[in-house]
Structure 1
Amino acid sequence: MTPSALPALFISHGSPDTVIADTAAAAWMRGLAADIPRPRAIVVASAHFEVSGGVAVSADPRPETVHDFGGFAPELYQLEYPAPGEPELAQRIAHDLEAAGFAARALERHGFDHGVWAPLKLIYPDADIPVVALSVDPNRGPDHHYSLGQALAGLGREGVLVIGSGSFTHNLREAFPALRAGQRQLDVPEWVSGFTEWMDSRLAEGKVDALLEYRKRAPFAVENHPTDEHLLPLYVAMGAAGQRFTATRMHDSADFGVLSMAMWRFDPAMAETPAI
């Protein structure tokens, strides 16, 4: 019997200190590994790994933990995530992406930004599963990243977990006052809930065309994503589930009132059984 493919996941990684915070999202991530088969390797498309004009795949055997943020508690800067890389997988992904028409390259001496290591430290704290990081292109939109994900669609059948790590909403200008004051639990404003409800409905219904044009169609799209690099990993995960998928929201909470911590699971649709 052929084993079922792993799902692809979209993780809202939130503020860097989510990894040490007592929040609903952090608690949920700590329990996620029990709900999916253990992967043999993980590929993370991170909103903080930005490369213009192409796709980069990390190929270090021992990537360093990069603390790419400032102004947080000193203990956060002491955290490490010593998961190994997998250069052979990285090289193969770069080759497959090139074959699919992407300008892709394997990149050495590239560590794990917090979009990679912070959620993984909660989900797989033992850091014993090889991890490869994948870049997003801030100058290319959802269509590009959905196609990028589709080029990775076979990985789930090989036991490789594809994760898009970003944020379901990401307006830092609106979040900073509450973040500085340490006010994580605030009411969610209508301009955030209106956007997330629209996205929720289209994801659950599999309305790919509408989702690819979210900046034109979704209410308050630009208010929630002044720039869309933090939503682009969602499209990588969505594409990695294949041409037909089932989308399931796994978790829903908010930090600082305006940062949606929604998490989504994309399962490949089962092939129809031919009539006998």
Structure 2
Amino acid sequence: MTQPALFISHGSPMMAVQQSATSDFLASLGQTLSKPRAIVVFSAHFDEAHDIVITSGDAPHTIHDFYNFPKPLYEIQYPAPGDPKLANTISEYFYKAGIKTVKSADQGWDHGVWIPLRLMYPTANIPIVQVSINTRLGAQATYKYGQLLAPLRSDNVLIIGSGGISHNLREIFKSPATPNRVQMVNEFTHWVEQKLIAQNTQALLNYLNEAPHALFNHPTQDHFLPLFAALGSSDGKVEKIHEDIEMDILALDAYKFY
């Protein structure tokens, strides 16, 4: 069975305890997909400066990597198993491409993994492997990572990029707000959608120079880069499967790649 690849905007950690349009979407998404034998996740919150790190533990722990949120959030566990064999396979794909990796048996699931997957697959019985991103290398490198792992999709492995289609947290809490901020988010997300549908990969890879208001929507690149892992693992065909906005400018679009 061949799985699609997904890009998911995982939003605020509060999505783990508050119902929303996006939490409802993620819960329904898990029910509409064929069950994968394993899931590979590129998360915005696993950004490594040097080597590519691949989780290789049998039972990684749940990381509560956020601050000043309600206590119930810190009590949530997502005990999905790891998949050391799949981690070895992923490492071999990178090795054959001349790329060094490090396998970590201690790395756990950050909230870019467990918050959406807990909604999609609440029974936590599908093995997961995380692969780090590197914001210092940028879109082209992340796209290549997706290309290297593309064969896994035909082996019933679901590849997910977990980030945010826009992610300017400072602006959310800024007072006074930037006057045209809603327009800037809309123009950026519309540009992304247009380029994805047109399969204009080169424009997307050059988004920092070509996309309108790229740095406003992504002052740091960590939440956008996972999109390129999903895109790279596909042949470019894409379907927009969700659209939502929270707090005026936190865009939560999701895409399915084939």
Supply the AA of the counterpart residue of 1:90: A
How far 1:101 sits from its partner (Å)?
Answer: 2.3
- Offset, 1:176: 3.1
2:214 corresponds to 1:221 = yes
Alignment match, 2:192: 199
1:99 aligns with 2:90: no
Alignment of 1:1-276 (within 5 A): 3=1, 5-176=2-173, 189-241=182-234, 244-267=235-258
Distance (Å, rounded) in 2 between the aligned partners of 1:157 and 1:46 = 22
Distance 1:254 1:80 in 2: 27
Amino acid at match of 1:85: G
Structure 1 gaps, min length 5: 179-186, 268-276
SS at match of 1:9: strand
- Please identify runs of 4+ aligned residues in structure 1 that moved more than 3 A: none
CA RMSD between the two structures: 1.4
What one-letter code is carried by the residue in structure 1 that aligns with 2:227?
A: L
Task: Tell me the amino acid that sits aligned with residue 118 of structure 2.
Answer: K
* Alpha-carbon distance in structure 2 between the residues aligned to 1:176 and 1:237: 30
- Equivalent residues of 1:149, 1:239 under 8 A apart: yes
Deviations 1:65-111 (A, max 9, x none): 00000111111111000000001111110121111122212111010
Aligned residue type for 2:231: M
SS of structure 2 residue aligned to 1:151: helix
In 1, distance between residues paired with 2:174 and 2:122? 31
Q: How far, CA to CA, are the matches of 1:99 and 1:105 in structure 2?
A: 14
Letter in 2 for 1:258: I
Aligned partner letter, 1:261: L
Cα distance in 2 for residues equivalent to 1:118 and 1:201: 28
SS in 2 for 1:17: helix
How far did 1:157 drift? Answer: 0.3
Q: 1:188, CA displacement in angstroms?
A: 7.3
How many pairs does the alignment contain? 254
Give distance in 2, aligned partners of 1:176 and 1:163. 29
- Percent identity of the aligned residues? 40
Residue 53 (structure 1) shift: 2.2
Deviation at 1:34, TM superposition (A): 2.1
Could you tell me the TM-score, scaled by structure 2's length?
A: 0.96
Are the aligned partners of 1:43 and 1:163 in contact in 2 as well (CA < 8 Å)? yes
- Structure 1 length-normalised TM: 0.89
Aligned-partner residue type, residue 211 of structure 1: L
